[in-house]
Amino acid sequence: MHNAAIHVLGLDAVYVALPTPAPALAAVLGTFAAVGGAGNVTLPHKEAAERCVARKTELCERVGACNTFWTEHGALVGDNTDVAGILAALRQLGVDGGGSWLLIGTGGAARAVAVAASQVKAEVHVLSRDAARAGAFAEWARGRGVRAAPAQGTLDLDIAINATPAGLKDTDPLPLDAESASRLRGRAALDLTYAPGGTRWVRTLRAAGVRAQDGREVLVQQGGAAFQRFFPDQAPPLDVMRAAVQRALGA
């Protein structure tokens, strides 16, 4: 996605994957700062990266997770572009404000969903396999102005959002079964994970008549926002980036 954008704009840069074990994260980020680099952070390092950058945007601080960083005057600046990506993908699904959301998960991606919900004044019901984690996450979210509570009983919801890694493999358990999802008032679901051919959860929900999409549009939109942080004088070529993602993942 990023290399396709770099190529079409004729920029002197390259985007590469850099697998990083948790104990090495601070040192790796420090190296980027030393050489004036920039990049993205994905799971499981988003929350730790937020603590490693020298400066951060208000949104990054509010989410408590960093997925995008760049160098200014020898110091790393952190941001969170997941929020913008999530909101853009939800607009595609027809969920553009308010309502009640079921949020599945309590990690860094879930934090971005909660902050996105606060921006459109949506109510968040948190679902986790660990009830204590759901309660702690809801308390964290309320501290940031989000209307949030642990999910309890039968809920009348507009959308279900999977913010867990479940779904990266077809053998993973479904984040929410099709029968429960079929009772969604808005009959919409967003899976933040993505995989070639779509995730099993999205395929299952679509077969049950639920309007669902995986996280590839979130990927493109947050990537476009990150690209503009990397290259402030360039408009991100979203169509090029989207086409690259589609080629990589298939229909």
Output the tens digit of pLDDT for each of the chain's 251 residues.
999 999 999 999 999 999 999 999 999 999 999 999 999 999 889 999 999 999 999 999 999 999 999 999 999 999 999 999 999 999 988 887 778 999 999 988 899 999 999 999 999 999 998 999 999 999 999 999 999 999 988 777 889 999 998 877 888 888 887 777 666 766 889 999 998 888 999 998 888 888 999 999 999 999 999 999 999 999 999 999 999 999 999 86
Closest CA to 110 of 123, 93, 127: 127
Cα 52 to Cα 54: distance, rounded to the nearest angstrom: 7
**Most distant CA atoms of the chain, gap in Å:** 54
In order of 50, 60, 74, 85, the CA distances from 66 in angstroms are 5, 6, 18, 14
Catalytic residue among 46, 56, 121, 169: 46
Task: Report the relative pairing of strands 75-79 and 68-72 from DSSP bridges.
Answer: antiparallel
pTM score: 0.90
Helix (H) or strand (E) holding 101, with range, is strand 100-104
Q: At what angle do helices 216-230 and 82-92 cross, to 10 degrees?
A: 140
Of 2.40.30.70, 3.40.50.10860, 2.40.50.140, 3.40.50.970, the CATH number of 2-80+220-249 is 3.40.50.10860
* Catalytic residue list contains 46: yes
Class of domain 83-214: alpha beta
